[in-house]
A and B are shown apart, each in its own frame.
Chain A
Amino acid sequence: AQSVTQLGSHVSVSEGALVLLRCNYSSSVPPYLFWYVQYPNQGLQLLLKYTSAATLVKGINGFEAEFKKSETSFHLTKPSAHMSDAAEYFCAVSSGGGADGLTFGKGTHLIIQP
């Protein structure tokens, strides 16, 4: 069985501040991990993915995430928030690498304060 827990359904940061969105996973086998972003009235799009190569993964729009096996975490960070980062962010885990086993978290709504 696999699951994802995203801590905080809403996160608010000031423009220019550090963004930290938390994701913890549970998987019985080495996982594949993903972050997706959903802008208002749009579908989800892939931000980045972890595939057991480098533990620090860089994605689009300046985001990165670090896989920490000891903490079963895959937190998403960005050094400096921009107004355009306001969106819903979803962490997802797959135990088999295939999308048939892709389990999404509940999502975190990122709010950027001017």
Chain B
Amino acid sequence: DAGVIQSPRHEVTEMGQEVTLRCKPISGHNSLFWYRQTMMRGLELLIYFNNNVPIDDSGMPEDRFSAKMPNASFSTLKIQPSEPRDSAVYFCASSLGSGIAQGELFFGEGSRLTVL
């Protein structure tokens, strides 16, 4: 079975450019999460969706970040304009069901973003 698929795996861009990261969750999963991982701050939850609806975006750093989930099989995380401090590995994860089952997250391999 296909896992969570993220693209691109690596992105190098210049400050001020728009960055779009993409995620395809596992088929049938109804929750989707975007995390950011850095050495300094560890894993941070940015936003999560349940049944395509954003539930909690309190982790989104600022207005430069936006996320959408137009359907159950696709989500995007956009940064516009990008800044060097946005450099990190961005993970998408999905899960099935509610309650404790939601604690079982299935992660993609991540998108490593470098902003010069």
Contacts and interface: CB of A to CB of B under 8 A. Distances in A.
B81 to A, nearest CB: 27
Contact size range, B: 20 to 34
Interface string B22-49: 0000000001010000000011010010
B4 A43 contact: yes
B67 interface: no
A106 B105 contact: no
A104 B42 contact: yes
A107 B42 contact: yes
A27 to B, nearest CB: 13
B100 A44 contact: no
A67 B98 CA distance: 23
Contacts, number: 64
Contact of A102 (B91, B99, B103, B110): B103
B75 interface: no
Interface of A: 32, 34, 36, 41-46, 49, 51, 90, 92, 94, 97-100, 102, 104-107
Given A42-B109, A94-B103, A107-B43, 18 more contacts: A32-B100, A41-B110, A43-B93, A43-B108, A44-B107, A46-B104, A46-B105, A94-B100, A97-B103, A98-B98, A98-B103, A99-B31, A99-B48, A99-B104, A102-B105, A104-B42, A105-B42, A106-B42
Interface of B: 4, 31, 33, 42-43, 45, 48, 55-56, 91, 93, 95, 98-100, 102-110
